[in-house]
Structure 1
Amino acid sequence: MEWLIVDGYNMIGAWPELAELKQVDLASARDRLIEWMAEYQAFTGIKVIVVFDAPHVQGMERKMKHFGIEILFTRENETADERIEKLASQLADGKEKVYVATSDFTEQWVIFGRGAYRKSARELYHELSVIQKKIAKKAKKIAESKPAASIPLADEVAEIFEKWRRGE
């Protein structure tokens, strides 16, 4: 199994749409990131964990699932980097392939030492953009392939119904 551990606030600060949204509503920026990571997980099959620092969210450590994504808020005196390092060590046990999405250069070197791979915020953003385009293309293809009526009709019958609808 493959895992992607995401430094949530690092992505929010680095991705243009989320950085802009953060200025207005940080919670909405977090929600949007989680939605995008759910799309990523559904498309790639890679399990995603998003980690957020406690300083931005008051209260105790929290762990929850939303859209199938595991979301962690660190303890008050724990950084996202510390939690990510622990997770990378636990998951990268030789059987699991673990990626960590962060643009924090120091953190990238630490996670290399823990047996994980890194993805920069820019790399993950580009990968997600490609995935979203593929999803949109696939959705369009599915929508176009659906019949206009719920009951498939022969062309002659459809033509007769169309004439009736027009009052001809």
Structure 2
Amino acid sequence: MKDTRDVLLVDGYNMIGAWKELSALARTDLQDARDKLLVRLADYQGFSGTRVIVIFDAYRVPGLGKSFTESKVQVHFTKEKETADECIERLVGELSSRRRQIYVATSDMVEQHVIFGQGALRLSARELYIELEQNDKELGRKIKEDYQKKSTKNTIDSKLSPEVRSMFEKWRRD
């Protein structure tokens, strides 16, 4: 069966450069910054149901162009002499269908105009960050709510309608 979920394409280094905590981390450990970005996006994908694909620019790195899945998030390192923008444009074309919406997370203005022309919608780095923060809060609220439901006593009495409860009480007293 074909995957018809909405797709979020993320320009990975664009997000790392735009988000304060990832930008600061990247100065000392770029791999750790990438990993933290992927963890946040994996949580988002799991909670929202949107398929997430992250593209990292390997334009000046010969022989790359590999793709893999990490925490169910697809990760693409561009091919030699291919920019992340070119890869995103190619993926928008490949993934476009009437049954799904493509979102591209980038703050690159030129790229935003190109993807608009292909029918995709854009999220700036700031908008994606805000959406992830809201997602984290909603996820925390949901976990707390589920925990409270499990910790309350689960009795048959709480599942019965007032009429049935009254009928059982009458039988008990007779």
Using the size of structure 1 for normalisation, the TM-score is 0.82
Residue 58 to residue 34, structure 1, CA distance change in 2 (3 Å): farther
The unaligned stretches of length 5 or more in structure 2 are 156-174
Of all paired residues, the percent bearing the same amino acid is 48
Match of 2:127 among 123, 127, 133: 123
For residues 49 and 97 of structure 2, the distance between their equivalents in structure 1, rounded to whole angstroms, comes to: 19
Q: How many corresponding residue pairs?
A: 149
Residue 147 to residue 14, structure 1, CA distance change in 2 (3 Å): same
- What residue number does 1:9 align with? 13
Match of 1:79 among 77, 83, 103: 83
Deviation (angstroms), 1:3: 0.4
Residues 145-165 of structure 1: per-residue CA shift (max 9 Å, x gap) = 4449xxx9xxxxxxxxxxxxx
Using the size of structure 2 for normalisation, the TM-score is 0.79
- What residue number does 2:146 align with? 142
For residues 119 and 59 of structure 2, the distance between their equivalents in structure 1, rounded to whole angstroms, comes to: 28
SS at the partner of 1:54? coil
Deviation (angstroms), 1:37: 0.6
Residue 17 to residue 127, structure 1, CA distance change in 2 (3 Å): same
- What residue number does 1:111 align with? 115
RMSD, matched Cα: 1.9
CA contact (8 A) 2:59 2:82 kept: no
Deviation (angstroms), 1:55: 4.4
Q: Which amino acid aligns with 1:88?
A: V
For residues 143 and 62 of structure 2, the distance between their equivalents in structure 1, rounded to whole angstroms, comes to: 39
The unaligned stretches of length 5 or more in structure 1 are 153-168
Match of 1:91 among 79, 95, 114: 95
For residues 100 and 151 of structure 2, the distance between their equivalents in structure 1, rounded to whole angstroms, comes to: 43
Residues 54-82 of structure 1: per-residue CA shift (max 9 Å, x gap) = 14766421100011100000012110000
